[in-house]
Chain A
């Protein structure tokens, strides 16, 4: 097999301007990166021997000088001969540098700054520090939280951290602060620049077949073995058996394996960029909101989807209406919650309320329809249905009083245990005393949440069944207080605030409070749903998948083997970028397997030693 010139095989990354044929690619091959990067001092004084790749980037002398000097003959440099570039490239490169304008110089400088590794590490460290900082200061709290917890004055937190400082530095919303976005943007730019200027050229170099024509550069590569009485073709055959791609030319051999190991890091960077762009798209294009909908009610999706930016597009599915058929909490025998279930139906109002989709969702199992997803995230109690047994006069009075109280649902009555109906449910109305005699006794009482009120621990809902009209001075009427923490049990307190008893909804067991016989029929729950339309998710998922795969692929070892036949001696060397130990072992095995040719004609030669002896 004969090698092809690189330019014919690998598509040019950047087409040179027509007026300067061949200059740009020459710069790339000869060390455009070297021109950019070595000005910073070649990785901070690393004394490690340069690999082939790096030699190509930097050359054997400082490239910035090289480019401006007259071209030297290349034969005595001892570098592996390349196929395609010649001594003319240096002078052309010099001329090119003279002619480049300010913009290109600036662009190259920007690329150099961005792709420098210490800078990238500094950016990563900066993002790390800022992220960590945000975990110590609670984020996105209301203003008075910071006023209370980070006060001015003698007891400043840590001696200097006041709410002033926090708000001024945007530490209360650090993850959406502009400097944080800037840092992430810099990281993205650094990733892109690094791939552009370092990784991609390195892959292109790795793809070229580099033939070594003299023993000296072979010996410079690292461990070199010399096999007497061996043929290069045998070595090539053995390497092919081991999965190498082998190229032979004029007694010189080049083989490589595992090119994916070189491409892996590029893939990692590309996947990271995909993730970052996906999150940016999510940041601008997401619509989300939350709704607390009682059983039996419905809502239109679009009324609850709030766009996160003006360019977010409301999806078509948002015109549909969701009807909550049922909300159910599954309890275990010990009282803990096993699961929350919401039975939802999606209706199309423009199609006469036709049912489009019906699904029972739970936590970890959301409702999906054409880009809109609804998650089960919360719940509350919406109303309690209480039936009063018997038909005596307190009942009628209670009914009238309840209707009067309903007329004043806007007024809140701070005294007493329960406030008037302020629940978010779209009005089960107040007590709706039904018309029929037998049904006159059922009250559907909306419940309000007392969570967070003084003296209340945890979640608590309450409602109030008044037994008389409110007094003329505006104080609350006498009544029965009904409380519940969950749909399992309802607690009754009498008009003086004394505990009376607990009943389980649906048990049918009456309780006597203030002379009335009450039966709790049902507790109506409300399901808390989180609605979301996030267009960036597919891109982010693609980035995630790519990142997982490419991180693993990056661990593949890219191994290269060079060999040179000189007379009857075979010089072999090789290198690998990862898994060096197993590469060493593999080399040992390969060299052991190369057959030794016996030459009976030469009597002065030393007795043929086993090829195995060459490999320690």
Chain B
């Protein structure tokens, strides 16, 4: 009876594994198509994907989120301990965090930004899921009982907070990288010149812009007065889509900048709490709260890089490009902290990735 129970759970876990990958794949494709083909502005005949279709994409993301939750819960049930003890489980948790992050921020921004956020989070979650399921050796995917050092309540707190912080920082840095790419492509200046953007918008376009910009948030450094006045006071003339495109592009970049700032701003306290709880746990378990273990050191490095990012934004008031460069550097640092450190081999954190 117990045997069939456990067999059922294992089979269920397997099917969840496949199902989560499948739904993430579908979600990614959904968002990519939606981002590429739906604009609603330049070609009125091709309005295949309207703004209301975002609901399909959102529910697809919600379904994959749910499947990942189920997968983790089933693993918890099978192994008897919190599902965060090896690389496979932490990757699944990371994928779940990415999808959850999307669901949190999905309604806070305009649709175009939401589509981009969805594309990025869905594809990131898909890559993490795929790497965990297909690239990791089978024996690393099995749930194993915990070694004595991990048998502590701190496991839940420290590791989950760290993974959450990784997810937020990864997504935030990806948005910054996107911002940099858009910057290079569109050749815009850093400070908004109202004159360049105000001219020659059609009434419909203005209307659409007004509808969109009802929920434009304020990027950290730009004045909403600027943004709104350029919309309210523009001159109504046809043509010059390029200027309108520039306007849209600049608004998009403003929003991306703001969104990445907010997401990284969410992740930084989590990272702080994660590092500190890890230090306290180390003191309880091994008697030393800081032993310059490679993983600890790289987590500190990540913290320093993002502290620099926040300082340049908060205090110095750099706009747009320079903080984004720092955040892009942070992307590499976060990945090295999460995965690369295990390649170095030694240290208290090498729980059997590469022996």
Contacts and interface: CB of A to CB of B under 8 A. Distances in A.
B338 interface: no
Interface in B285-335: 285-290, 292, 294, 297-298, 300-301, 304-305, 307-308, 311-312, 315-318
A364 B301 CA distance: 27
B223 A222 contact: yes
B228 A124 contact: no
A581 interface: yes
A175 B292 contact: yes
A223 B304 contact: no
B344 A46 contact: no
Interface stretch (A343-351, A400-408, A510-518, A546-554): A546-554
> Which secondary structure dominates chain B's binding surface?
helix
A128 B269 CA distance: 19
B298 A135 contact: yes
Contacts of A43: 316-317
B211 interface: no
A569 interface: no
Interface stretch (A103-111, A333-341, A458-466): A333-341
Interface in A128-152: 128, 131-132, 134-136, 138-139
Interface stretch (B15-23, B99-107, B197-205, B275-283): B275-283
A564 to B, nearest CB: 18
Interface stretch (A86-94, A428-436, A493-501, A537-545): A537-545
Query: Chain A: interface residue count, which band?
Result: 35 or more
Nearest to B154: A364
Contacts of B297: 131-132, 134-135
Contact of B272 (A120, A547, A584): A547
A397 B283 CA distance: 53
A537 B292 contact: no
A44 interface: yes
B176 to A, nearest CB: 17
B269 A366 contact: no
Nearest to A124: B304
A139 B218 contact: no
B137 interface: no
A580 interface: yes
Interface in A581-597: 581, 584
A121 B272 contact: no
Contacts, number: 119
Interface stretch (B46-54, B90-98, B142-150): B142-150
A366 B315 contact: no
A512 to B, nearest CB: 37
A121 B311 contact: yes
A555 B308 contact: no
B224 A375 contact: no
Given A124-B304, A364-B152, A279 B290 contact: yes
Residue from B288, B300, B318 with most neighbouring chain A CB atoms (10 Å): B288
Residue from A120, A364, A537 with most neighbouring chain B CB atoms (10 Å): A364
A337 B147 contact: yes
A48 B279 CA distance: 40
Given A377-B286, A548-B272, A338 B300 contact: no
B77 interface: no
B168 to A, nearest CB: 14
A558 interface: no
A288 interface: yes
A46 B316 contact: yes
Nearest to A544: B276
B141 interface: no
Contacts of B288: 532
Nearest to B221: A48
Interface string A326-366: 00000010001111100000000000000000000011101
Contacts of B344: 135-136
B207 interface: no
Contacts of A580: 217-218, 220, 224
A548 B284 contact: no
A364 B149 contact: yes
A373 interface: yes
A370 interface: no
Contacts of B286: 375, 377, 530
A135 B341 contact: yes
A124 B147 CA distance: 36
Contacts of A128: 300-301, 304-305
Contacts of B311: 117, 120-121
A584 B301 CA distance: 36
Contacts of B346: 138
Given A131-B297, A364-B285, A532-B287, A46 B317 contact: yes
Interface string B183-226: 00000000100000000000000000000000001101101110
Interface in B244-290: 265, 268-269, 272-273, 276, 279-280, 283-290
Nearest to A530: B287
Interface string A214-229: 0000000011000000
B151 interface: yes
B5 interface: no
Contacts of B289: 537, 540
Interface in A480-526: none
A364 B317 contact: no
Given A124-B308, A139-B292, A555 B269 contact: yes
B269 A551 contact: yes
A127 interface: yes
Given A222-B225, A544-B276, A363 B301 contact: no
A125 B303 CA distance: 11
Contacts of B318: 46
Residue from B148, B191, B268 with most neighbouring chain A CB atoms (10 Å): B148
Given A131-B300, A364-B149, A544-B276, 19 more contacts: A43-B316, A117-B315, A121-B312, A131-B301, A132-B298, A135-B294, A135-B298, A222-B223, A222-B225, A223-B224, A288-B287, A363-B148, A363-B285, A364-B148, A364-B151, A377-B287, A537-B289, A551-B269, A555-B265
5 contacts: A46-B317, A48-B221, A49-B223, A131-B298, A135-B294
Interface of A: 43-44, 46-49, 117, 120-121, 124-125, 127-128, 131-132, 134-136, 138-139, 175, 222-223, 279, 288, 332, 336-340, 362-364, 366, 373, 375, 377, 530, 532, 534, 537, 540-541, 544, 547-548, 551-552, 555, 580-581, 584, 616
Interface of B: 144-145, 147-149, 151-152, 154, 191, 217-218, 220-221, 223-225, 228, 232, 265, 268-269, 272-273, 276, 279-280, 283-290, 292, 294, 297-298, 300-301, 304-305, 307-308, 311-312, 315-318, 341, 344, 346
